[in-house]
């Protein structure tokens, strides 16, 4: 069995995914298959098209060609909010919290982005609506605790330090009760200690919640650590370059070439 084939039926599969922006082919026939419960890394040099892949999965950009299948069903053409309700949630490379909401509200919003009671119940707050709100409040606090932000629940999201904003984004993404979590550079801008904490957090939520996680990351230490037992996809110029376990990737001549460039021997 080749290393890029997961062992069981994939929960998410990208087939020959392609997108053109004007004359630029940002993603070119990209293939990926992720098994349920896997934690897969997605790396590549700057501009390789990694974030574009996430934007295509969540349909923030419309693909030009190819297929995006979740459990065999196509996601193309669904609006981003529908895709979220199908069970795909994400964080953003450039943090996109709701800056003027509190940390708690950010998480709570995502729990009930599809309101759980009718408009009439909203106006008069019948007991059912109040109960639903109590439930989501409890869950929001529990999620904040998971990422270690329970004491800052009432702080304005925009006023939190950078590293905590990243954690809050993870909590918010988890609040949507996803089955697939897309993490876009969760360790960007973090120092070594913060990275270690983050690795621990991601591993913990991966193990306890049973999410399937796809993670874009530039911090090699983070990727290599988290994807020890699984696979890493390497992208270059919008296409698959290599796939395999950490050691395999680190020793792949093509990957080394893509990252470090090529010596001009004899040219």
Site of interaction with another protein (CB under 8 A): 58, 60, 79-81, 84-85, 89-90, 92, 96-101, 105, 108-110, 112-117, 119, 122-125, 129, 132-133, 136, 151-152, 154-156, 159-161, 172, 176
Query: In terms of CB distance, is 136 or 236 closer to another protein?
Result: 136
Minimum CB–partner distance for residue 42 and another protein (Å): 18
Q: What are phi and psi of 234, to 5 degrees?
A: -110, 130
Query: In terms of CB distance, is 122 or 221 closer to another protein?
Result: 122
Minimum CB–partner distance for residue 180 and another protein (Å): 13
Minimum CB–partner distance for residue 212 and another protein (Å): 17
Query: In terms of CB distance, is 111 or 227 closer to another protein?
Result: 111
Query: In terms of CB distance, is 52 or 58 closer to another protein?
Result: 58
For residue 219, which of 251, 258, 187, 172 has the smallest C-alpha distance? Answer: 187
CB 127 within 8 A of CB 180: no
Minimum CB–partner distance for residue 69 and another protein (Å): 19
Query: In terms of CB distance, is 114 or 221 closer to another protein?
Result: 114
Minimum CB–partner distance for residue 85 and another protein (Å): 5
Q: What is the 8-class DSSP label of residue 102?
A: B
Minimum CB–partner distance for residue 94 and another protein (Å): 11
Measured between alpha carbons, how far is residue 137 from residues 23, 52, 108, 132, 141 in Å?
48, 33, 7, 9, 6
For residue 235, which of 48, 39, 24, 3 has the smallest C-alpha distance? Answer: 48
Contacts of 100 (CB under 8 A, 6+ apart): 156, 157, 158
Locate all alpha helices (DSSP H) within the chain, ordered by sequence. 50-57, 80-86, 103-111, 119-124, 127-146, 162-175, 192-209, 220-226, 246-250, 253-260
Minimum CB–partner distance for residue 48 and another protein (Å): 22
Contacts of 58 (CB under 8 A, 6+ apart): 80, 83, 84, 88, 90, 182
């Amino acid at each position: 069995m080749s290393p890029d084939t997961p062992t069981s039926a994939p929960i998410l599969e990208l087939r020959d995914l392609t997108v053109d922006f004007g004359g630029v082919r940002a993603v070119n026939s990209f293939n990926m298959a992720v098994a349920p419960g896997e934690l897969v890394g997605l790396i590549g040099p700057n501009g390789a098209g990694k974030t574009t892949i996430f934007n295509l999965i969540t349909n923030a950009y419309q693909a030009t060609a190819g297929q995006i299948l979740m459990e065999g069903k196509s996601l193309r053409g669904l609006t981003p909010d529908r895709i979220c309700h199908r069970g795909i949630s994400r964080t953003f490379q450039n943090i996109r919290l709701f800056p003027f909401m509190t940390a708690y509200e950010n998480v709570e919003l995502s729990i009930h982005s599809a309101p759980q009671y009718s408009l009439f119940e909203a106006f008069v707050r019948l007991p059912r609506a109040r109960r639903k709100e109590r439930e989501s409040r409890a869950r929001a606090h529990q999620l904040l605790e998971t990422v270690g932000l329970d004491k800052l629940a009432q702080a304005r999201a925009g006023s939190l330090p950078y590293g905590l904003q990243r954690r809050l984004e993870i909590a918010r993404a988890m609040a949507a009760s996803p089955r697939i979590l897309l993490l876009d550079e969760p360790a960007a801008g973090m120092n070594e200690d913060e990275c270690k904490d983050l690795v621990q957090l991601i591993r913990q939520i991966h193990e306890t919640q049973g999410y399937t996680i796809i993670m874009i990351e530039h911090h090699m230490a983070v990727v290599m650590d988290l994807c020890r037992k699984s696979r890493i996809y390497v992208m270059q110029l919008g296409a698959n370059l290599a796939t395999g376990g950490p050691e395999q990737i680190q020793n792949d001549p093509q990957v080394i070439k893509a990252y470090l460039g090529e010596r001009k021997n004899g040219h």
